[in-house]
Amino acid sequence: MKIKILFLGSHLKSYHCFRYLIENFSNIEIVGIVPHINQPPIRFDQDIVAYAKAKKIPILELKDLAGITCDLGISLMFDAKLPPEIVDLPKRGFVNIHLAPLPQLRGVNGIYHAIRLAREKKYSRYAVTLHYMDATLDTGPIIDKMTLPLFEDDTAQSLHVRACDKVYELFVRNIGRLIKNRTSLKSKSQKGIGMYYFKKDLAHEIDINWPAEKIYDNVRALTFPGKPKPFISVGPYRIYLSLENI
182-212: pLDDT as tens digits: 888 999 999 777 777 887 778 899 999 999 9
Query: What mean pLDDT value characterizes the chain?
Result: 93
Judge if pTM exceeds 0.85: yes
CB 227 within 8 A of CB 217: no
Measured between alpha carbons, how far is residue 158 from residues 177, 204, 225 in Å?
Answer: 31, 19, 11
Relative to beta strand 142-149, strand 125-132 is: antiparallel
pLDDT (0 to 100) of residue 196: 78
SS3 of residue 226 by DSSP: coil
pLDDT (0 to 100) of residue 246: 61
pLDDT (0 to 100) of residue 182: 87
The domains of the chain are located at 3-180, 212-245
**Which residues have C-beta within 8 Å of that of residue 33, sequence separation ≥ 6?**
6, 7, 8, 10, 18, 48, 49, 52, 57, 58, 59, 60
Is 142 a residue whose pLDDT tops 80?
Answer: yes
DSSP result, 90-124: STT-EEEEESS-TTTS-SS-HHHHHHHHHHHHT--
Is 68 a residue whose pLDDT tops 70?
Answer: yes
Q: How far apart are CA 82 and CA 37, in angstroms?
A: 12
Q: How far apart are CA 135 and CA 175, in angstroms?
A: 22
Q: How far apart are CA 244 and CA 63, in angstroms?
A: 47
pLDDT (0 to 100) of residue 193: 75
SS3 of residue 151 by DSSP: coil
Q: What angle do CA 102, 242, 107 make, to 5 degrees?
A: 20
Percent of all residues in the chain with a pLDDT value above 70, rounded to a whole number:
99
pLDDT band at 213 (very low <50, low <70, confident <90, very high): very high
pLDDT (0 to 100) of residue 91: 93
pLDDT (0 to 100) of residue 3: 96
CB 109 within 8 A of CB 202: yes
pLDDT digits (tens, 9 = 90+) for 24-41: 999 999 999 999 988 878
pLDDT (0 to 100) of residue 215: 96
pLDDT (0 to 100) of residue 38: 87
pLDDT digits (tens, 9 = 90+) for 72-115: 999 998 988 899 999 999 999 999 999 999 999 999 899 999 99
pLDDT (0 to 100) of residue 149: 97
CATH number of this structure's domain 3-180: 3.40.50.170
pLDDT digits (tens, 9 = 90+) for 157-177: 999 999 999 999 999 999 999
Q: How far apart are CA 141 and CA 130, in angstroms?
A: 9
Q: What angle do CA 210, 212, 213 make, to 5 degrees?
A: 105
